[in-house]
Amino acid sequence: MSAGTGPLRPSRPLGALRDAVDHVARQSPARLALIVFAGIIAVVTALLSLPAATVDGQRAPFVDALFTAVSAVCVTGLTTVSTATYWSVFGQAVIIIGVKIGGLGVMTLASILGLAVSRRINLTQRLLTASETRTTRLGEVGTLVRAVIVASLTIELAIFLVLVPRFLALGHSLGQALWDALFMALSIFNNAGFVILDKGLEPFVGDWWLCLPIIVGGGIGALGFPVILNVAERVRRGRRLSLHTKLTVVTYSILAVVGSLGFALFEWRNAATLGGLPVADRVLTSMLAGVNSRSSGLSTVDVGHMNDTTWFMQDALMFVGGGSASTAGGIKVTTFAVLVLAIVAEARGDRDAEAFGRRVGTTTVRLAVAVAFLGATLVGGGTLLLLTFTDYHLELVLFETISAFATVGLSTGITPDLPDVGKYVLAALMFAGRLGTMTLAGALALRQRRRVIRMPSEPPIVG
């Protein structure tokens, strides 16, 4: 076709690729989300492998570049090298951009870009974003994406504005204070666990100015964007809170209080953690522990010096994690709540699991069992592999494994010293923890198999 005789058509290879992507998005949005997530990790790995990404100008070993990329995009915070001293400003910028992408969700970010460019979200983007945000109503995707933009930017800006004067008061130059505050604000809200400060957070163990933004910002990020949207709608228009919001807020709050009280109980007299601190600092540190073990991974005390009982408690809290479609990891608090409700209903002899005047369907209960079992299987398999390839004791390996799977980032200190195969195991766990249960939940929630013929019922003996 000559110029000016008609509209230009996309080349055949590009058109075929677009059709293939659309087909996969419709058939299995979760699978395409997984592929794109892996692609983002590959790009971040490549950027961190450049000489400009390190302070000394040498190429980072592939295992360290890959591990850091996975940890950033999967908003975990486990590291094999120091974020503050090993990576250059360029490397740190790559890391925090990876955190931002991972915190929003790749498909949510794609929808945001679609809104910015074309003022609309096409069907493919709606399907993909629905798989990440756990909504089965495609009409809600556009509203949810806009809420994600406003909520994330607003909260991150608020944290940033609070931290800038604190870093200036510590003697940082204006440029350094702005950069440190920006990096930490993104890390806090996205529950990433990365710290850009040279000495970490331990010098700030009693610093309410720094710790309160971590507690509040990390907690809000861990509740999830659907909860933030629902609460905002409640405030603005008086709409009722959904069952998901109620279960998430109540369960998260209960576990946060239990975590804080448990940490204070087990560590109060431990001279290596809380024992040598003033009472006010002990209270603040315990409050932070109730949040950081849920996903943020930002701790002001050395995790490696905690008691075994504290590790065990935090193992359980990390495994549960935060809210669905949030920046947190784990099997999610609603999964845990549904399992508890099902157990209570069974113990009472009730036919249905109920909460807040609503019935929880059997499909949701089955999905919760599947997600919890998959999570336990991943943790068990990762623990066995690390015990095989290292000489560390079970309590250390189990803590590190759950921290990786739940994308928490708390560490007893063994991650940098693991052999390369151990680092690859943790990287795989971080990837599976961020996308494995999410993909399963999204795939099962968006696709229902209808069978015309149902087999006869016969209950096996259970228990």
Q: What is the domain partition of the chain in residue ranges? A: 20-446
The span from the CA of 1 to the CA of 224, in Å, is 51
pLDDT in tens, 42-90: 999 999 999 999 999 999 999 999 999 999 999 999 999 999 999 999 9
Looking at the predicted structure, is the pLDDT value of residue 379 above 80? yes
Q: Are strands 358-360 and 353-355 parallel, antiparallel or unpaired?
A: antiparallel
Mean pLDDT of 321-339: 88
- Structure token pair of residue 371: 């997600």
Mean pLDDT (whole number) for 94-120? 66
Q: If 0-12 CB within 10 Å is exposed, 13-18 middle and 19+ buried, where does residue 87 land?
A: buried
Query: Cα 4 to chain center, whole Å?
Result: 51
CA distance linking residue 316 with residue 406, whole number of Å: 10
Whether 143 has a pLDDT exceeding 80, the answer reads no
pLDDT of res. 415: 96
Residue 75 · residue 294 · CB < 8 Å? no
Residues 6+ apart with CB under 8 A from 136: 130, 445, 446
At 272-294, the pLDDT tens digits run 999 989 999 999 999 999 988 87
Q: Report pLDDT for 149.
A: 77
**First vs last Cα of the chain: how many Å apart?**
73
Model pLDDT, residue 461: 76
**What mean pLDDT is predicted for residues 298-326?**
93
For every residue of 168-237, DSSP letters joined together read HHTT--HHHHHHHHHHHHHHHHTT-----STTTTGGGTT-HHHHHHHHHHHHHHHH-HHHHHHHHHHHHH
Tell the residue number behind the tokens 């010293």, with chain if given. 417
- The segment with the largest mean pLDDT, out of 210-224, 357-371, 380-394, 428-442, is 380-394
pTM greater than the 0.75 cutoff:
yes
Please determine, for residue 359, whether its predicted confidence score (pLDDT) is greater than 90. Answer: yes
pLDDT value of residue 293:
87
The rounded mean pLDDT for the chain is 84
